[in-house]
């Protein structure tokens, strides 16, 4: 299967400018097709929309890792590492994810 959504369609759905939508489409498509290449196109398209929309709406300054050490709050650099999981794309594609056993 393959992602079939266009930059114009993504632009309309996530409210991004065309250039931004095209860039996010490229990024989201690469991640989605690598994670679950055999998922149906409709599922992949929705995952791309969710992931691209999440990336479009995220700000580098709002996702801080923080912890408390001895009563002192410490904040690390911004992270969007769980973006694919948080946007719901990973769960949507999960039934088509090929899992393999590793060598022990």
Is residue 63 over pLDDT 70? no
Cα–Cα separations (whole angstroms), residue 23 to 7, 72, 74, 102: 9, 40, 34, 34
Is residue 49 over pLDDT 50? yes
pLDDT confidence of residue 67: 64
Q: How confident is the model over 39-52, as a mean pLDDT? A: 97
Q: How confident is the model over 93-104, as a mean pLDDT? A: 86
Which phi and psi (to 5°) does residue 75 adopt? -110, 135
User: Which has the higher per-residue pLDDT, 66 or 63?
Assistant: 66
pLDDT confidence of residue 104: 72
Q: How confident is the model over 51-58, as a mean pLDDT? A: 91
% of the chain exceeding 70 in pLDDT: 81
């Amino acid at each position: 299967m393959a992602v079939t959504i266009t930059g114009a369609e993504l632009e309309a759905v996530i409210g991004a400018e065309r250039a931004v939508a095209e860039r996010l489409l490229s990024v989201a498509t690469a991640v989605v097709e690598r994670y679950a290449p055999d998922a149906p196109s409709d599922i992949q398209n929705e995952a791309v929309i969710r992931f691209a929309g999440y990336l479009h709406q995220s700000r580098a300054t709002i996702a801080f890792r923080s912890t408390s050490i001895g009563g002192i709050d410490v904040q690390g650099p911004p992270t969007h590492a769980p973006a694919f999981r948080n946007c719901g794309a990973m769960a949507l594609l999960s039934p088509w994810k090929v899992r393999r056993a590793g060598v022990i």
